[in-house]
Amino acid sequence: MSSLHFDQHQFERRSAPVNGKNGISFDDAKFMQTQRHKSKPAAWVPPFAMNDSQLQKVLLLRAWLYVGRGRSRRRLPDPDSISREEINRAATTKALRGYTIRPDAPAIQHQAHAIHQAAIRRAGGFLQLLAAIAFRSWRLGMDSVEVAETLGTTPQAVRVYLWRFRDIAKRLGFEVGRAGHTAGMTRKKPSTCRRRKPLLHNRLLLKKFSRARVVELHTSGLRIPDIAVQMGYQRGHGKNRVRAHLRAAGILPPKEKPGHGGPAGV
């Protein structure tokens, strides 16, 4: 393999926001905002990925683990003792043979399985796909979406492979650098849907919210936004609750459902 390399980010050219492909006009561009990270994308490329010998060993051991040779051994073998052709053939055969998926499994699992097999066929083998993912991500500076589009796989699969490459490099003692600005952060699990608390203007008034009071204020000539403020809400909030009480009192007509009796249902 040639030792000639280039820094993709040195010659990087950002495309103009206004062009004939994305449909963005100059008027739209006036109100657009852009974000740039403080660090260049190259800052997140692990040093071992720029070393041909180390990268080859990482990819070879990833295929070795995929075949299942490392189930009973915690220590990784010497990559020089592994036959590249044999491991690639075994890994490709296993990937194309696939695995059993329950009939009642979500459709996305069947789809991901088919996409993975198609990507390996397109690349020409298991190791070829791994090398293409590593090269496009770390040598060309492409993100996971771009890599997935060019290789016919999914962005999630690309990110998983890259993380596993880093893990193997750590076990080999190679320098992996920084993982990224979000690595190691604790992700909070999404909480159950809760009802939003109202924006309060006066807690005491809001506790005394009553239909009779709403009707009284409406009869006196106050508008619905003003009634909501009188009932304890901040300006611009509580109008739906006021309308609901006025409908229940028969002052406002019932709320029409979409597709029934109106122009929307025609």
Q: How many domains does the chain have?
A: 2
Same domain, 49 and 159: yes
Domain boundary among 172, 189, 215: 172
Q: Say if residue 166 is in the same domain as residue 47.
A: yes
> Which long-range contacts does 172-179 make (Cβ < 8 Å, 24+ apart)?
172/54, 172/57, 172/58, 172/61, 172/76, 174/46, 174/47, 174/48, 174/51, 174/54, 174/58, 175/46, 175/47, 175/48, 176/46, 176/47, 176/48, 177/44, 177/45, 177/46, 177/47, 178/43, 178/44, 179/44
217 & 166 share domain? no
Does residue 150 sit within a domain? yes
Decide if 4 is inside a domain: no
pLDDT digits (tens, 9 = 90+) for 168-215: 999 999 998 877 655 555 555 555 555 555 555 555 556 667 888 888
Q: What is the mean pLDDT of residues 9-22?
A: 57
Whether 121 maps to a domain, the answer reads yes
110-159 pLDDT per residue, tens: 788 888 889 999 999 999 999 999 999 999 988 889 999 999 999 989 99
Confirm whether 182 is domain-assigned.
no
20 lies in a domain? Answer: no
Q: How far is 107 from 112, CA to CA, in rounded Å?
A: 9
Measure CA 13 to chain center. 25
Whether residue 75 is contained in a domain is answered as yes
* Same domain for 146 and 83: yes
- Residue 119 structural domain: 41-172
Q: Is-contact 79 59, C-beta < 8 A?
A: no
245 and 168 housed in the same domain: no
pTM over 0.75: no
In a domain? residue 17: no
> Is 30 among the domain residues?
no
Lowest mean pLDDT among 16-25, 151-160, 180-189, 254-263: 180-189
Whether residue 242 sits in one domain with residue 123? no
